[in-house]
Amino acid sequence: MLSVYARHSADCPRVNDGTWKRCRCPKWIWGMLPNGDFVRRSAKTRSWEQAEELRRELESESETVSPPAVLPHTSESALVVAAPPSAPSPMVVRPAGEIIPPAKERVKISVAVKKYLADAKGRGLEKSTLSKLTTIFQKQLVPWATSEGYEYLDELDLDAMKDFRATWTDGTLAKSKKQGRVIGFFWHCQRRGYIKENPVLDFGRIKVVHVPTDYFPRDEFNRIIEATYTYGDPRGGFIPLEDLRLRLRVMTWLMRWSGLRIRDAVTLQKDRLQGDSLFLYQAKTGTPVYVPLPPYVVQALKDLPPGPRPNPRYFFWSGNGDPKSAVANWQRSFRRLFEIAALTRPDGSPKRCHPHMFRDTFAVENLLAGVPIDQVSLLLGHKSVKITEKSYAPFVKARQLQLQESVRNAWQVVDPSMAQQATLPTETAALVQ
């Protein structure tokens, strides 16, 4: 017959008592069905009563199935010996002479995560990507599974993973990306033979509401530049205060007029500045992509005062250590700068500002000036123009103008007189009609 037992977590006071009913540890079912089949499975509940109900249902269903017939010409019938709950799998004794292949060893969650991260590192993924994977699986999934009493990878079914997803406190966009990484992790485990099926394939899609990109209009950008003249503590620092203010001002100009991300701007090499243009990247076609800079920005870069640890190769970075630390220092400086600028929304509430908005300002101002969106996408280095459209479509002023012009051109094909009317003054066009 079947029995219910608890798979206690390590910190459960009744960790050594599998028959304890009043804890919230996962409940499992094991034993022999009336038809002779051995069962060891999760009850997918933490309630002992619900597990007992499932046990009775399994026994009832099994009673309606006829027991397997005894094979002829065998000296002894097949025997099944049930293993205790602590064993990884039941031991099966079959008719004499039959060779039983050894059962495949179950893989622990911690081991699967360790091998997955090692594989990701071996594939040469970026440090930022490896850091995100480590956070999701080693710092979040493994501790959560331990606290919930899950030890082996095949115990993580759809319900368990939905419980794990419910613990995420990220925004919708971050949740959507994290869910994709979780699905990829289980695909990796399935391909390596750790599990038979991917338990998260039925994960519902997380709805992401795309908020239109915000940027700094010209008056707000001018206020930010003005704030650089009062930025800093006059009591002293690693470099003269005026040099500190100038470096922050030039960094702001650089991101605004080049569209560079803050990391790319901080680690910008001096040889990337060629004449009055900045080399952005090498396109897939092998063609270099440049963006021209205003003359005063070019001159300011050339005359930039050195930082605390100057490096002749870079404008803003010492070249030592992890660029992430240098970027974090600049982000702190910009947070203080935005506090000084004190930008507000039309309703008077504080405007949320961050350095990436300089890149958005570069894109939006070009679109509002009528630069085609495919060219803006090329300057931003997006893999597809669809990415640019998703972020900046509300600002594509030229698109509507191009649509209107295309309709007028279609008139000329259908009826040349209509195209002529479109170019006449309103009074004259009315007379023609």
pLDDT, tens digit, 9 for 90 and up, residues 135-179: 999 999 999 999 999 999 999 999 999 999 999 998 888 899 999
Q: Which of 65-74, 97-106, 333-342 has the lowest mean pLDDT?
A: 65-74
Confirm whether 204 is domain-assigned: no
Most confident of 37-51, 107-121, 201-215: 107-121
In this structure, the answer to whether residues 390 and 412 fall within a common structural domain is no
In this structure, the answer to whether residues 417 and 367 fall within a common structural domain is no
Average pLDDT over residues 89-114: 66
Does the pLDDT of residue 300 top 60, yes or no? yes
> What pLDDT band is residue 69 in, cutting at 50, 70 and 90?
very low
In this structure, the answer to whether residues 120 and 170 fall within a common structural domain is yes
Helix (DSSP H) and strand (DSSP E) numbers for the chain: 17, 8
Give the phi and the psi of residue 415 in degrees, each rounded to 5: -150, 105
In this structure, the answer to whether residues 158 and 281 fall within a common structural domain is no
In this structure, the answer to whether residues 326 and 305 fall within a common structural domain is yes
In this structure, the answer to whether residues 274 and 414 fall within a common structural domain is no
Confirm whether 15 is domain-assigned: yes
Q: In this structure, what token pair is assigned to residue 2?
A: 């079947």
Query: pLDDT value at position 77?
Result: 41
Residue where a domain terminates, one of 156, 191, 226: 191
Does the pLDDT of residue 399 top 80, yes or no? no
> Which amino acid is located at 203 in the chain?
F
Neighbours of 254 (CB within 10 A): 26
Instruction: Name 391's Cβ contacts closer than 8 Å, sequence gap at least 6.
Output: 210, 213, 360, 363
Q: Is 191 exposed, middle or buried (0-12, 13-18, 19+ CB in 10 A)?
A: exposed
Q: Is 102 exposed, middle or buried (0-12, 13-18, 19+ CB in 10 A)?
A: exposed
Query: pLDDT value at position 142?
Result: 94
> What pLDDT band is residue 307 in, cutting at 50, 70 and 90?
confident
In this structure, the answer to whether residues 391 and 411 fall within a common structural domain is no
Reduce the DSSP state of residue 277 to 3 states and report it.
strand
Residue where a domain terminates, one of 191, 210, 230: 191
| CATH number of domain containing 347 | 1.10.443.10
| Alpha carbons 9 and 144: distance in angstroms, whole number | 11
**Residues 52/4, Cβ–Cβ less than 8 Å:** yes
Confirm whether 186 is domain-assigned: yes
Q: Which domain holds residue 148?
A: 109-191
Count Cα atoms within 13 angstroms, Cβ side, for 363. 32
Instruction: Name 283's Cβ contacts closer than 8 Å, sequence gap at least 6.
Output: 289, 378
Query: pLDDT value at position 414?
Result: 65
Going by C-alpha positions, the residue among 5, 40, 16, 12 that lies closest to residue 148 is: 12
Confirm whether 104 is domain-assigned: no
Reduce the DSSP state of residue 152 to 3 states and report it.
strand
Confirm whether 103 is domain-assigned: no
Confirm whether 211 is domain-assigned: no
| Alpha carbons 223 and 341: distance in angstroms, whole number | 6
Tell me which of 96 and 153 has the higher pLDDT: 153
Q: In this structure, what token pair is assigned to residue 205?
A: 């899609």
Q: In this structure, what token pair is assigned to residue 65?
A: 């199935």
In this structure, the answer to whether residues 250 and 293 fall within a common structural domain is yes
pTM of the predicted structure, to 2 decimals: 0.61
Query: pLDDT value at position 204?
Result: 84
Does the pLDDT of residue 235 top 70, yes or no? no
- Say what percent of the chain tops pLDDT 90: 43
In this structure, the answer to whether residues 353 and 268 fall within a common structural domain is yes
Mean pLDDT of the chain, nearest integer: 82
Confirm whether 229 is domain-assigned: yes
Tell me which of 200 and 423 has the higher pLDDT: 200
Query: pLDDT value at position 236?
Result: 61
Element (H, E) at 29: strand 27-32
Q: In this structure, what token pair is assigned to residue 112?
A: 């699967």
Does the pLDDT of residue 416 top 70, yes or no? no
Query: pLDDT value at position 64?
Result: 60
**Residues 313/307, Cβ–Cβ less than 8 Å:** no
Query: pLDDT value at position 227?
Result: 95
> What pLDDT band is residue 267 in, cutting at 50, 70 and 90?
very high
Does the pLDDT of residue 128 top 80, yes or no? yes
Tell me which of 20 and 184 has the higher pLDDT: 184
In this structure, the answer to whether residues 136 and 223 fall within a common structural domain is no
In this structure, the answer to whether residues 390 and 413 fall within a common structural domain is no
Q: In this structure, what token pair is assigned to residue 317?
A: 């970075």
Reduce the DSSP state of residue 5 to 3 states and report it.
strand
- Count the domains in the chain: 4
In this structure, the answer to whether residues 186 and 250 fall within a common structural domain is no
Average pLDDT over residues 251-271: 95
Confirm whether 401 is domain-assigned: no
